[in-house]
Structure 1
Amino acid sequence: MRLKSISFAVLLSLGFLSLAHISCKEDKKNITQTEVIFKKEGELQIYKTVTDSVIVALDIELAKTDYEIQTGLMYRDAMDTHQGMLFLFDNEIERYFFMKNTRIPLDIIYINADKKIVSFQKNATPFDERSLPSNAPAKYVLEINAGLVDAWAIAVGDRIEFTE
């Protein structure tokens, strides 16, 4: 009789643990990241080197703090064509970006301290954690929607100007 009571208690406990595990698992599935909305913090123009004419003007969000730089455009579902994020660094070194938790494909433009474009990574794949190097020292990095480097015929040597 005592063995049956213990067995019943063990089975009952296992049942509750299973329900608790399923319940916790369900709760984790329902957790979603809130989408981050674009916040205009400045304006940026890209100039063609040869003609010194404006290729395009953009509204930009700035990434200046460590947190903003680490987060970048993560958790966003879309960005308008004439919007971008400009990363501002204190020094000019070779940069490495990746697309962890980034939902939208991007063109990543690397810019030196003289505000001249030194390289870019086109059509960066969402969620890809491979390193996307600048291959040259860069002080600024501009992220825009994928395909716009080609659509706007942006080239190495073109320059930027921006205001906060």
Structure 2
Amino acid sequence: MSFVAKAVLAGVLALGIGAGGVAYMNSDADSDVAKVATVPLTIKSANGTHAFQVESAKTEAEQARGLMFRTDLKPDGGMLFWPYPAKGGEPVAANFWMKNTPSPLDILYIRADGTIARIAENTVPFSEAPIPSGEPVGAVLELMGGRAAELGIAEGDLVTWDKAK
């Protein structure tokens, strides 16, 4: 693990934000951070079904990296934190942040039944302010900032993905 990744993880834990702190480094040949697997994901909203191909952050390390330092976000991409937290188990209240994240994100907090509990829209890049879920959640989805509003995605909409992957 690189010095930056260790410092980020230490900062996440020191602030009490938890392993779900928004973070992820670009993956390239010179990086010691491996790219996480992708999974298809759909969101059923009032105006139709929206398909995404998202990275699946399942381990504590993947969730600690999240989308930090990323500038390569795609409209049909994102990152799914599942199970959240990585240790699995019962849904928990989540707090994310935008430290070292240069692009605004929409953070969708997902209940255990797959419905969206809360959407934090266009979060502020580089902010260390906690962004709470407001209730216990089983998963968290990050999309490009503004994407939820653009597609008409709202709280209560249903999010589905292959949980076996």
Query: What is the CA distance between 1:94 and its match in structure 2?
Result: 1.1
Question: Which residue number in structure 2 is paired with residue 80 of structure 1?
Answer: 74
Question: Which residue number in structure 2 is paired with residue 108 of structure 1?
Answer: 107
Contact (CA 8 Å) 2:96, 2:130: kept in 1 or not? yes
Q: TM-score, normalised by structure 2?
A: 0.72
Query: What is the CA distance between 1:151 and its match in structure 2?
Result: 0.5
Deviation string 1:89-109 (CA, Å, 9 cap, x unpaired) is: 223111100011111110000
Contact (CA 8 Å) 1:97, 1:132: kept in 2 or not? yes
Question: Which residue number in structure 1 is paired with residue 118 of structure 2?
Answer: 119
CA distance in 2 between partners of 1:137 and 1:41 (Å): 25
Q: TM-score, normalised by structure 1?
A: 0.73
Query: What is the CA distance between 1:39 and its match in structure 2?
Result: 5.5
CA distance in 1 between partners of 2:107 and 2:115 (Å): 14
Secondary structure at 1:83's aligned position in 2? coil
CA distance in 1 between partners of 2:37 and 2:154 (Å): 25
Q: Confirm whether residue 156 of structure 1 aligns to residue 142 of structure 2.
A: no
Matched-pair identity in %: 35
Contact (CA 8 Å) 2:36, 2:62: kept in 1 or not? no
For structure 1, which segment, 150-159 or 36-45, has the greater mean C-alpha deviation from structure 2 after superposition? 36-45
Secondary structure at 1:124's aligned position in 2? coil
- Consecutive unaligned residues of structure 1, counting only runs of 5 or more, are 1-33
In the alignment of these two chains, the number of paired residues is 128
Which structure has the greater CA radius of gyration? 1
Question: Which residue number in structure 2 is paired with residue 46 of structure 1?
Answer: 43
For structure 1, which segment, 144-153 or 35-44, has the greater mean C-alpha deviation from structure 2 after superposition? 35-44
Contact (CA 8 Å) 1:106, 1:146: kept in 2 or not? yes
CA distance in 2 between partners of 1:135 and 1:65 (Å): 23
CA distance in 1 between partners of 2:120 and 2:58 (Å): 21
Secondary structure at 1:114's aligned position in 2? coil
Instruction: Select the structure that is richer in helix.
Output: 1
Contact (CA 8 Å) 2:81, 2:141: kept in 1 or not? yes
- Consecutive unaligned residues of structure 2, counting only runs of 5 or more, are 1-24, 29-34
Secondary structure at 2:138's aligned position in 1? strand
Query: What is the CA distance between 1:141 and its match in structure 2?
Result: 0.3
